[in-house]
C-alpha cells in the first residue's frame, strides 16, 4: 500500500483517494516571468513521479497545476520589456511547457491561468468576508488571521510570532490590523493591470489564486497538494486559511513537499555562476534523459546536490541503460523460459513496488532496475536468458518506466527496429532474386528505396550486407 509523508501530520501515512477512484492532486505551478531553473524543475519532476505512480497504482489522476500570470514579478517584467502582461507571460508559459516536454514530464489534467479566474477569486473573497474572516481597507482586502483558530497548523508558526518583520514576499504591508494578516485583493496602482471588483479596481493576491484554481477543478477537499518546501509558509498556510474559512471543510488531506537542490554544494544563485536553467545544460551538451535521471538521484525529501560530475555519471548510467535496451530485442536467444530469469524478474517487480510504496523512494526504484539489468547481463552471458524471459523483462521495464519516465523513447525505438530489420531483410532478398532474374530495374528500385530510408547496401562475396547511414 502506498504511503506518503504528510507535512500536515509530520508522519508517513497510507494514502488512498477519498473516493477510492480518482486522486485529486494540485501543484503550485510556475510564475511565468523567467525560465524555470533546475530547482523548480526538480519539483515539477516530483509532481510527475507522484502522478505517474498514482496511475501505476490503478487510480484515475486529476492533476491541476496553476500558471501564475499576474503578480509583482510578471507585472514588473512586462513593464521593463514594454509589452502587455499577457504578451509577456505567454512567451514564458510556452518555454515552461517546452521544458516539461523535454524532461518527459506528463502533461497535467489542467493548467488553469490566474487571469482567467479573477471572477472566481472575487467570489471566494466575498465568501471569506461574509464569514467574518477578512476586512477591507482603502481598496485592499486582507485576511484576518486572528479569526481563524487553526492558523499555523501546517507550518507550526504561532500567529503571535508574526508581529512584524520580514515574513512575506508581499510588498504592501500597510494598513493592516495585524502584521500577520495577508492580502486577498490589492488596490490598483498606477500603470499596473487591474480588474474591477466590489472593492474598486485591483488585482488578486498570490495566495488566493491557488485556493480558487484548486477548488474550482478538484472540489473543496483535495487528496494531495504539492509544492516546494519554501511554500509551506506563508503560501500554503494561507491557502488553508482562505479555503477553510470560505468552505468550512478540510482543504487538503495530504501535503507533499519537495526539498530544494543545491549546486556543487552551494545554494544556487546567479552571482555564484552556478545557476542553471534546462536550456543552459542542453547547450552544454547534456541530454534531457541524464538531466531527468540526475534530478531523481535523491529522495524528494532530501536535499539534492546537483553537480556536473553527477550529471556525467548520469550520462554514463543512461548510456548503459540505452545499450541494454537496444541490444535486448536483437539477441539470439534459445526458445522457452528459464526459471532463474523468471524468478529474478518477479523479484524486481515486487521490490520496485515496495520501494515506491515507501514514500516514493525513487533512488531505491532506480537501484532495483539497474541491479536487475546487471543480473540479466550475467544470465545472458551464461546462456540462461530465453526468448520468453525477454518478453517478461521488457514488460517489466515498460511498467517501471511508466513511473520513471527515463527510457520511454528507447523502449519504443527498440521495439520498432527489429520489425524494420525484417522489412529490410525481405527487400534485400527480393533484390537478390530480381538480380538473379535479370530484372535490374527492380533491383535498382529497391536499392533507391532503401537509400531513401537511410539504409546503405554493400554487395560482398558473402552476399549483400546493410548498415544505417
Ligand atoms: Zn500555490
Same domain for 207 and 69, yes or no, is yes
Task: Report which of residues 468 and 196 the model is more confident about.
Answer: 196
Q: Give the Å distance between the CA of 27 and the centre of ligand 1.
A: 7
Q: Which domain does 93 fall in, by range?
A: 3-258
Domain end, chosen from 202, 234, 258, is at: 258
Is the same domain home to 12 and 134?
yes
Picking from 231, 258, 285, the residue at the C-terminal end of a domain is: 258
Question: Which residues, 6 or more positions from 256, have their beta carbon under 8 angstroms from its beta carbon?
Answer: 4, 5, 6, 7, 46, 50, 224, 225, 226
pLDDT at 413 over 70: yes
Separation between Cα atoms, residue 220 and residue 206, nearest integer Å: 19
Cell of 214: 484548486
Q: Is the pLDDT of residue 166 over 50?
A: no
Question: Which of the residue ranges 158-162, 256-260, 435-439, 442-446 would you say has the lowest mean pLDDT?
Answer: 158-162
Distance (angstroms) between ligand 1 centre and the Cα of 31 equals 10
Residue 162 pLDDT class (50, 70, 90 cuts)? confident
Residue 318 lies inside a defined structural domain of this protein: no
- The gap from C-alpha 177 to its chain's centroid, in whole angstroms, comes to 40
Q: How far is the CA of 190 from the centre of ligand 1 (A)?
A: 27
Q: Is the pLDDT of residue 167 over 50?
A: no
Residue 124 CA to ligand 1 center (angstroms) comes to: 16
Centroid of ligand 1 to alpha carbon of 205 (angstroms): 11
Give the Å distance between the CA of 156 and the centre of ligand 1. Answer: 18
Q: Which of 151, 203, 200 is nearest to 172 (CA)?
A: 203
Q: 234 with 378, same domain?
A: no
Segment 368-396, tens digit of pLDDT: 999 999 999 999 999 999 999 999 999 99
pLDDT in tens, 106-123: 999 999 999 999 999 999
- Kindly state the percentage of the chain with pLDDT values over 90: 81
DSSP state of 195: B
The residue among 172 and 10 whose pLDDT is bigger is 10
Contacts of residue 343, defined as CB under 8 A and 6 or more positions apart, other chains included, come to none
C-alpha 73 to ligand 1 mean position (Å): 15
Residues 424 and 455 in one domain: yes
Average pLDDT over residues 398-420: 88
- How many whole angstroms from 344 Cα to the centroid of ligand 1? 43
Question: 297 alpha carbon to ligand 1 midpoint, in Å?
Answer: 26
Nearby residues for ligand 1 (ion, Cβ within 5 Å):
28, 210
Claim to verify: residue 335 and residue 457 sit in the same structural domain: no
Look at residue 419 in the predicted model and tell me its pLDDT. Answer: 67
Domain of residue 180, CATH code: 3.40.50.620
How many domains does the chain divide into? 3
State the distance from the centre of ligand 1 to the C-alpha of 144, rounded, in angstroms.
19
- Least reliable range by pLDDT among 221-235, 261-275, 309-323: 261-275
> Would you give the distance in Å from CA 366 to the centre of its chain?
17
Question: Mean of the per-residue pLDDT values for the chain?
Answer: 92
Q: What is the mean pLDDT of residues 217-244?
A: 97
271 within a domain of the structure (yes/no): no
Q: How far is the CA of 110 from the centre of ligand 1 (A)?
A: 15
Whether residue 286 is contained in a domain is answered as no
What is the 276 CA–ligand 1 centroid distance (Å)? 23
Phi and psi for 80 in degrees, rounded to 5?
-60, -45
70 CA to centre of ligand 1 in angstroms: 13
CA of 405 to the centre of ligand 1 (A): 25
Cα 212 to averaged position of ligand 1 atoms, centre (Å): 10
- Whole-number Å distance, alpha carbon 50 to ligand 1 midpoint, is 17
Report the separation in Å between the CA atom of 85 and the middle of ligand 1, taken as the mean of its atom positions.
20
40 Cα–ligand 1 center, Å:
13
Q: Beta strand 261-263 with 304-306: parallel, antiparallel or unpaired?
A: parallel
Cα-to-centroid distance, 300 and ligand 1 (Å): 18
Pick the closest to residue 22 from 60, 64, 63 (CA basis): 60
Q: State the pLDDT at residue 464.
A: 78
Indicate if 70 and 131 belong to the same structural domain.
Answer: yes
Distance between Cα 127 and ligand 1 center (Å) = 20
Ligand 1 centre distance from Cα of residue 231 (Å): 8
What burial class does residue 97 get, using C-beta atoms within 10 Å of its C-beta: 0-12 exposed, 13-18 middle, 19+ buried? middle
Same domain for 355 and 449, yes or no, is no
**Helix or strand or coil: residue 258?**
strand
pLDDT over 70 percentage in the chain:
95
287 belongs to a structural domain:
no
Query: Nearest 5°: phi and psi at 407?
Result: -130, 20
| Pair (129, 23) in one structural domain | yes
**Over residues 336-348, mean pLDDT:** 96
CA of 324 to the centre of ligand 1 (A): 41
Amino acid at each position: 500500500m502506498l504511503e506518503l509523508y504528510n507535512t500536515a501530520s509530520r508522519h508517513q501515512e497510507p494514502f488512498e483517494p477519498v473516493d477510492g477512484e480518482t486522486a485529486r492532486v494540485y501543484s503550485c505551478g510556475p510564475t511565468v516571468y523567467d525560465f524555470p531553473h533546475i530547482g523548480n524543475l526538480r519539483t515539477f519532476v516530483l509532481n510527475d513521479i507522484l502522478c505517474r505512480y498514482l496511475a501505476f497504482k490503478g487510480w484515475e489522476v486529476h492533476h491541476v497545476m496553476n500558471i501564475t500570470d499576474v503578480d509583482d514579478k510578471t507585472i514588473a517584467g512586462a513593464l521593463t520589456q514594454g509589452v502587455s502582461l499577457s504578451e509577456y507571460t505567454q512567451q514564458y508559459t510556452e518555454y515552461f511547457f517546452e521544458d516539461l516536454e523535454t524532461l518527459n514530464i506528463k502533461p497535467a489534467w489542467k493548467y488553469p491561468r490566474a487571469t482567467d479566474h479573477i471572477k472566481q477569486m472575487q467570489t471566494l473573497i466575498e465568501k471569506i468576508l461574509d464569514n467574518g474572516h477578512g476586512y477591507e481597507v482603502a481598496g485592499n482586502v486582507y485576511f484576518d488571521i486572528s479569526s481563524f483558530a487553526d492558523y499555523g497548523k501546517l507550518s507550526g508558526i504561532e500567529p503571535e510570532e508574526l508581529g512584524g518583520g520580514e515574513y512575506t514576499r508581499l510588498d504592501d504591508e500597510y494598513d493592516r490590523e495585524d502584521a500577520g494578516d495577508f492580502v486577498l485583493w490589492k488596490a490598483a496602482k498606477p500603470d499596473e493591470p487591474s480588474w474591477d471588483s466590489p472593492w474598486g479596481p485591483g488585482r488578486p493576491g498570490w495566495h488566493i489564486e491557488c485556493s480558487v484554481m484548486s477548488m474550482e477543478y478538484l472540489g473543496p477537499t483535495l487528496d494531495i497538494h504539492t509544492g516546494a518546501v519554501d511554500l509551506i509558509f506563508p503560501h500554503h498556510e494561507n491557502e488553508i486559511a482562505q479555503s477553510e474559512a470560505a468552505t468550512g471543510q478540510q482543504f487538503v488531506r495530504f501535503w507533499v513537499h519537495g526539498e530544494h537542490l543545491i549546486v556543487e554544494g552551494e545554494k544556487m544563485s546567479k552571482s555564484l555562476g552556478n545557476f542553471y536553467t534546462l536550456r543552459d545544460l542542453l547547450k552544454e551538451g547534456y541530454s534531457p534523459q541524464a538531466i531527468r535521471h540526475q534530478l531523481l538521484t535523491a529522495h524528494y525529501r532530501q536535499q539534492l546536490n546537483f553537480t556536473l560530475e553527477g550529471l556525467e555519471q548520469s550520462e554514463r548510467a543512461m548510456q548503459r541503460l540505452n545499450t541494454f535496451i537496444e541490444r535486448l530485442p536483437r539477441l539470439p536467444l534459445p526458445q522457452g523460459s528459464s526459471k532463474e530469469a523468471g524468478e529474478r524478474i518477479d523479484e524486481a517487480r515486487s521490490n520496485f513496488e515496495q520501494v515506491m510504496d515507501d514514500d516514493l523512494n525513487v533512488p531505491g526504484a532506480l537501484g532495483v532496475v539497474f541491479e536487475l539489468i546487471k543480473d540479466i547481463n550475467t544470465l545472458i552471458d551464461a546462456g540462461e536468458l530465453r526468448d520468453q524471459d525477454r518478453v517478461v523483462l521488457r514488460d517489466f521495464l515498460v511498467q517501471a518506466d511508466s513511473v520513471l519516465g527515463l527510457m520511454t523513447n528507447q523502449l519504443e525505438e527498440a521495439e520498432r527496429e527489429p520489425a524494420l530489420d525484417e522489412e529490410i531483410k525481405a527487400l534485400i532478398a527480393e533484390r537478390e532474386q530480381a538480380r538473379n532474374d535479370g530484372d535490374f530495374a527492380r533491383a535498382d528500385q529497391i536499392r533507391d528505396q532503401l537509400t531513401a530510408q537511410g539504409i546503405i547496401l554493400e554487395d560482398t562475396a558473402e552476399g549483400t550486407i546493410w548498415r544505417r547511414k
